[in-house]
Amino acid sequence: MMSVVDQMQAAVSDLVQPGKGILAADESTPTITKRFNAVGIESQEESRRSYREMLLGTEGIGEFLSGVILFEETLGQRSADGTPLPEVAARQGIVPGIKVDKGLTALANGQGDKITQGLDGLPERLAPYKEQGARFAKWRDVYPITANNPTRLGIATNAEVLARYAAICQAQGIVPIVEPEVLIDGDHTIDRCAEVSEAVLNAVFHALHRHGVLLEYMLLKPSMVVPGKDHPQKANPAEVAERTIRILRRTVPAAVPSINFLSGGQSPEQATANLNAMNQGHAGVPWELSFSYARALQEPPMAIWRGEAKNVAAAQAAFYKRAKLNAAARSGKYTEEMEKSS
């Protein structure tokens, strides 16, 4: 029997591979329902199952993906031929993981800040997840930007909860993905996003230290530093990369093996171009810079699939293309020309 540290070391080695990133397919039922409804797909247990089977069954997708984050429902589902979906992923060389948070609620006295729930009973939930094949976990905290948010209370409390989650996972040999998301909603400047992101990451790493989390056996999944989506000026990839790397250097210890960004409402092309700029211009950083995208990988295939078997091949081709381009961006080898290839 491997020690918990050996289990985590093996999972980190499998997750952090050159030219590969992580697919976030862990949308909770309300979120996947919203995404399905936006493109005219009815959200039922069977449509969610066949959609995720379509993604994980894409031939060759393991060339570009080292891991997949699943929702609890998916962890227990099977492909049409009866193979458990985590096993479908594992056969492609993709490590299955599990989203373990239970979503957001209002933070009392937080002036609109949120707090993520799910710590109660978490140690007991991890053992069955592991038996079903999960080798890593994910927990997301969110930080809205307004004139008053996030509050000091919101930053401190969310950091504490993220660190408690990470420590609980590591005690059972599960690698935690720590996801503090500074939201893109609003008309704030890129300066304000940078200021908030730095404060959030600073608090998160202090909390991880207080809780004894081993930084070598976790991954960070942050948002990029970008202007609010309603801000009149957009930032180009070089600026996003420069601003993002600057605050990461100030806050993230070198012991963290990999930073896998979320896409957070950027278009698929933007998310790829921004990741590419980070890998092109900042060769000396101590961590790997990769992706853990949901929407930026899934938007094109979901829109093509529409719940119909006849669209599976085209949807898989679109998914394969997005994964391939992000894998190129993860090495700084993406070009806009590549968008035109089929």
Interface characters, 47-86, with ligand 5MM (x: CB under 6 A): ----------------------x-----------------
172 belongs to the binding site for ligand 5MM (CB under 6 A) = no
87 counts as catalytic:
no
Longest dimension (CA), the chain: 56
Burial track 139-166 (b if 16+ CB lie within 10 A, e otherwise): bbbbbbbbeebbbeebbebbbbbbbbbb
Residue with tokens 């959609």: 51
Binding of ligand 5MM by 135 (CB under 6 A): no
99 catalytic? Reply is: no
Stretch that binds ligand 5MM, among 19-27, 185-193, 195-203, 227-235 (CB under 6 A): 19-27
Q: Find the binding residues for ligand 5MM in span 23-42 (CB under 6 A).
A: 24, 26-28, 31
Residue 191, C-beta contacts closer than 8 angstroms, at least 6 positions apart: none
Q: Show the tokens assigned to 87.
A: 């096993």
Structure token pair of residue 24: 């976030």
DSSP state of 301: H
Residue 117 Cβ vs ligand 5MM, minimum distance, rounded to whole Å: 11
- Based on the shown chain and the rule CB under 6 A, indicate whether residue 139 belongs to the binding site for ligand 5MM: no
Choose the catalytic residue: 181, 221, 288, 324: 221
Return the structure tokens found at 308. Answer: 């119909």
Location of structure tokens 């000091």: 152
Query: Of 4-12, 86-94, 289-297, 301-309, which part binds ligand 5MM (CB under 6 A)?
Result: 289-297
Which of 18, 60, 103, 286 touches ligand 5MM by CB under 6 A?
A: 103
Residue number, 44 or 109, with CB nearest to ligand 5MM: 44
State the Cα–Cα distance between residues 134 and 138, nearest whole angstrom: 11
Helix (H) and strand (E) counts in the chain: 12, 10
Residue 26 beta carbon to ligand 5MM: minimum distance, rounded to whole angstroms: 5
Q: How many residues bind ligand 5MM (CB under 6 A)?
A: 17
- Cite the beta strand spans of 60-215 per DSSP E: 65-70, 95-99, 104-106, 114-116, 136-143, 175-182
Choosing from 27, 72, 179, 299, the catalytic residue is: 179
Give the footprint of ligand 5MM on residues 221-280 (CB under 6 A).
262-264
Catalytic (active-site) positions: 179, 221
Q: Which residues bind ligand 5MM (CB under 6 A)?
A: 24, 26-28, 31, 69, 99, 103, 140, 181, 262-264, 293-296
